[in-house]
A and B are shown apart, each in its own frame.
Chain A
Amino acid sequence: MTSALGKDLLALESLTGEQIRLILDTAEPFKEISERSIKKVPALRGSTIVNLFFENSTRTRISFEFAEKRLSADTVNVSASGSSVQKGETLVDTARNLEAMRIDMVVIRHSASGAAQFLAERIESNVINAGDGTHEHPTQGLLDLLTLRDRLGDLTGKRICICGDVLHSRVARSNIWGLKHVGAEVAVCGPRSLLPNAIEEFGVIVFDRIEEAIEWADALNVLRLQLERMTAGYIPSSREYNRVFGVSRERLERAPRDILILHPGPMNRGVEIDSDVADGPHSVILHQVTNGVAIRMAVLYLLAGGKPELAEAAKGGRA
């Protein structure tokens, strides 16, 4: 089972710009399906997909589930609590047991970086990474790219700044790789305590002041500031963070051009982003959520591939 993307979608780092553009282009017609009164096409009829969520998630899990159902796949949700995981079963044993029930794909969210790859190497089903530790969250990166492309057009040379807790963010990593693969210019902005050491080696610009980032960027992707970072001593207080790094309307009004505002959710209003920005004219935050379903449909569809030699043979006979 190989497709234009290979067996699995684990990270954007290992994809090419061409593969990323293929996913974005494939997502375009899937947007329309969610606007129909019957929001369903039979493309994945008969496929069984397991959503294996070892970490809490609302948006991502529901988005995957809508995508699967709108492609007519059969889905099962497994969460860590209330399953055999609580009894001490290992990840591989859980997956192998599921595979013994003849499944086709696994969507996995796990708190350990590399969990998706670990699983992909050990089972035959297609594996989609729905977030692994602080490593990557590829479908979030892709839906951010799609949203940016919808508004900015071709992303070559466009300036995107990722703001906030880059150190702990898998969304930031997927964004950096994805944006660089399609030729965008990428910057990060946040307190040095929340930026990885040697972040410059990613090939990104670093801004220490949010005002500089706003001056430079076409779009800001504002990351969630996880409140447990305060107790861990990364920042003094959420109020001080908001005062120094918060994206506010006053700051955006001083921008030399209209700036798009993205946020992967869930938002801390009044911390990393102010309410009048989140709900304001520059915000594309809900557009991101809508695009998430289309992107996940595209990824599921592209990974569900059959045998390439048959695809070649079928091209000649198409009528």
Chain B
Amino acid sequence: MADEIVELNDGTENLVIVGIQRRGVQLARRISSLIEESENATVFQGSLDITLYRDDLQTVGPRPVVGPTDIPWDIDGRNVVIVDDVLYTGRTVRAALDELADFGRPAHIVLAVLIDRGGRELPIQPDIVGKTISIAPGERVDVLVEDLDGRTEVIIPATAEETAR
């Protein structure tokens, strides 16, 4: 995925990698360090918490845990890569696009996800995908990352466990 990001953006110049809280941030960090290693360049990183941009606040009510949003770079004219763990309905990405627009006007925005589980409710598609799986709407996909969960794997709890990567 890291190689694909570099290829898609014609190198690391102007690149900003932004993870969506919480596990997207961990993934964005891993991808950034992989790119820094292979390209020998510094990659700008940030994180987004899209809680305040959700479209279901009025019906569902506030989620108590609002994480930090940290975009310390000017994103005007840059190539932004949004990183998240699982792409499902597309509503999180819609909110992330809205939030990014409040920080500036990037030249390009692309979407990179580890898992695409289908089930989209909005016209949003990923540009870079780690793995596409198809599971029923009621099922869950959990991405576990070293920093938060102590191990790195993808599981589908309660049903047949499948480990990707």
Contacts and interface: CB of A to CB of B under 8 A. Distances in A.
Q: Do A and B bind each other?
A: yes
Interface of A: 3-4, 22, 25-26, 28-30, 32-33, 36-38, 40-44, 46-47, 71, 301-302, 304-308, 310-311, 314, 316-317, 319
Given A29-B66, A302-B64, A46 B58 contact: yes
A26 B69 contact: no
Contact of B68 (A4, A32, A41, A43): A32
Interface centre among A3, A29, A37, A316, by most chain B C-beta atoms within 10 angstroms, is A29
A319 B86 contact: yes
A40 B61 contact: no
B64 A22 contact: yes
A305 B61 contact: yes
B60 interface: yes
B117 A29 contact: no
Contacts of A304: 57-58, 61-62
B44 interface: no
A37 B57 CA distance: 24
A248 B30 CA distance: 53
28 contacts: A3-B61, A3-B62, A25-B65, A26-B64, A28-B66, A28-B68, A29-B66, A29-B68, A32-B68, A32-B70, A37-B103, A38-B102, A42-B53, A43-B52, A44-B57, A46-B58, A301-B62, A304-B62, A305-B61, A306-B57, A306-B58, A306-B59, A307-B61, A310-B61, A317-B89, A319-B92, A319-B117, A319-B119
B64 A4 contact: yes
Interface centre among A41, A305, A319, by most chain B C-beta atoms within 10 angstroms, is A319
Contacts of A3: 61-62
Contacts of A36: 102-103
B63 interface: yes
Given A36-B102, A316-B140, A29 B60 contact: no
B98 interface: yes
B67 interface: yes
